[in-house]
Structure 1
Amino acid sequence: MSDLPATEVARAVTMIDEGHTYRSVSRTVGVSVSVIHRCVKRYRQTGSYVRRRGQGRKRATNAVEERFIRVQTLRNRRQTAVQTRNLLEEVRNARVSERTVRRRLNECGLKSYVPGKAPKLEASHRVARLTFARQHQD
């Protein structure tokens, strides 16, 4: 379902009230006729141009659990999403999927990275390796 900004919904409702057809309004606004119809219907029912909150499925986690996920990850950067999920179930008795943990981390701006295994080679290391390889060729 396409969500129109409140200004566009107001524009569409005004045009419909002025006598324009749903099809002409949909062309003007740039969305389908069904979206215009749904927005006008919602406006007539609620008297508001803004989409109501709370529609759709309820979240699997609450604010406390989301904060727990974020804090645990920040405390131990090498902890995996599976480990965080297991800890959440152990401590908070909340059963969520590993995918949910990843989504919550992504929502708070924490991206997943593969930790580096070793420090990068410096130029002197590369030279030493090349010298060794040339000496021990064949």
Structure 2
Amino acid sequence: MPKKAELKIETRATIIAEFNCGVSASEIAKKYNCDRRTVYYLVDKYKNHHNCENLPGRGRKRVTNKKDDTLICRSFKIYPRQTFKSALSNFNDNRENKVSMTTVRRRLKENGFKSYVIRKQPYITPKNREARLQFALEYKDKSLEY
């Protein structure tokens, strides 16, 4: 049987309010097109947690914590030219639970880092540098119409 969509938080609050006013669970279930057990589940959840919203802890847990995320970001702030592989190996050296390269990329993206390729600087030899300087000194005093 396919899973139905979750009830909106406003609907959950209304169900709990109606149940507390004395409306039966079967009537509420018919009105909101849900199962009677769902009504009891919502009421029980509200009694235990005083909240009708989704509780934290749903889904897969993060491999890294806030401190680990800070370490990853700090390493890229200090050494922005390092590769993901080198950062990953440095980070995983001190950990018992290894982190994947995708996790490192994801943490950097969450913290506003963007991937880019650093522009290559032209290689200027000392000989070429001297020739450029001589050229500039030779033509610095000439007019633009020569």
TM-score, normalised relative to structure 2 = 0.56
CA contact (8 A) 2:84 2:105 kept: yes
Amino acid at match of 1:75: I
Could you tell me which residue of structure 2 aligns to residue 22 of structure 1? 32
- Within 5 Å, give how 1:1-138 maps onto structure 2: 8-14=8-14, 17=18, 19=28, 21-23=31-33, 43-47=42-46, 48-118=51-121
Gaps of 5+ in 1: 24-32, 120-138
CA contact (8 A) 1:85 1:98 kept: yes
* CA displacement 1:77-119 (0-9 Å, x = unmatched): 1112221111101244541000000011111111211212237
How far apart are residue 43 of structure 1 and its match? 3.1
Gaps of 5+ in 2: 123-146
Point out which structure has higher relative CO (alpha carbons under 8 A, 6+ apart). Answer: 1
Q: Which structure carries more helix by proportion?
A: 1
How far apart are residue 9 of structure 1 and its match? 1.2
Q: Which has the larger radius of gyration?
A: 2
The runs of 4+ residues in structure 1 deviating greater than 4 Å are: 1-4
- Could you say what the CA RMSD is over the residues aligned between the two structures, in angstroms? 3.1
